[in-house]
Every structure is written in C-alpha cells, then in structure tokens.
Amino acid sequence: MCVLPFIFILIYESKQTIGRQKDFEPVPVPASHHGNFYSGDSYIVLSTTGDASRLSWDIHFWLGCKSTQDERGSAAVLTVNLDDEQFHGAAVQHREVQGYESKLFLDYFQPAIRYLDGGHASGFNHVTINEGAEKRLFQIKGKRNVRVRQ
C-alpha cells in the first residue's frame, strides 16, 4: 500500500492508496493507519487492479458522519480531479458514507474497519481535536465485515 498525493501503480498486484483530506488538499495516511477512519474527516481511497495489459481503478471518497460540508465537498471535487487528471475519466468513482460502506470498500480493510472520534480541523472551522493520549472504549460489530466504533 502507498498513500496520496502520489499515484503509485504496481502492475500484477492490487494496490490501495489512501489519502485524508485536510484544508481542501489530500494528506497522506501512513500504512499503519489504513483502516482507521476519523468520523470528523473525509478520505479518498484509490484501488488499482489488473495486469500488464489492462488496469482498472476504483476511487472511493469516504465521508465521516461528523465531517463538515466543506470537507465533504472537497473530497468529492478531489476525487473528480484525480479521475480526470490521472486516469482521463477511466476510473470508477464511489461515494462511501460512514456506516453504509459498500462491500467492495469494506473488503479493502479486512478484518475490520475502525471508526474513531475526532479528526483534523476543517478548512473553515479551526478547532483542536485529538489532543493527548486518551483511553478509548471500542464497540465491535459483525462477523464477516467487522466494524469497530469508538
């Protein structure tokens, strides 16, 4: 796995690229944090599949239930721009909403997708979130596509 804003395509393997949207720009998400989604943020996930003769792309923009309208709009616009500029409209775009993700999206994050409280400050709303090391209690739901909520 690699992260946005760099587009990395490795032929013969399936790759996922994850970027977190902050201040209207994609910010890389470290591989160790793939599968962790903050409810106050929006994310862009790029999946590249195929072989040497044919590649296909799926671009998902994930919207946290507490993300702001500007973050949601920015994630959608960045997804369209990524598709147009890098893939000339050949990618399939998917809108994912927290708690209602598609099976394809959930399959990227086996065995579980984790929803965490908080997120980055918005481009319009500058607040301090996620400071300090706090104790957390998680609720786990599901057998096949596990969802973890804080």
Task: Check whether 44 has a pLDDT greater than 50.
Answer: yes
- Considering the domain delimited by 2-149, tell me its CATH architecture: 3-Layer(aba) Sandwich (3.40)
Tokens 């990618």, located at residue: 91
> 110-113: long-range contacts (C-beta < 8 A, 24 or more apart)?
111/146, 112/35, 112/140, 112/142, 112/146, 112/147, 112/148, 113/35, 113/37, 113/145, 113/146, 113/147, 113/148
Length of the chain: 150
Q: What whole-number percentage of the chain has pLDDT above 90?
A: 21
Q: Specify whether the backbone of 58 is left (phi greater than 0), alpha (psi in -120 to 50) or beta.
A: beta
**Ranked by mean pLDDT, which of 1-10, 45-54, 71-80 comes out on top?**
71-80
pLDDT at 95: 96
Which secondary structure element, helix H or strand E, spans residue 121, and what is its range? Answer: none
What digits encode the pLDDT tens for the residues 95-124? 999 999 999 999 888 888 999 887 766 554
Tell me the C-alpha distance between 48 and 11, whole Å: 9
DSSP 3-state of 141: strand
The DSSP letter of residue 106 is H
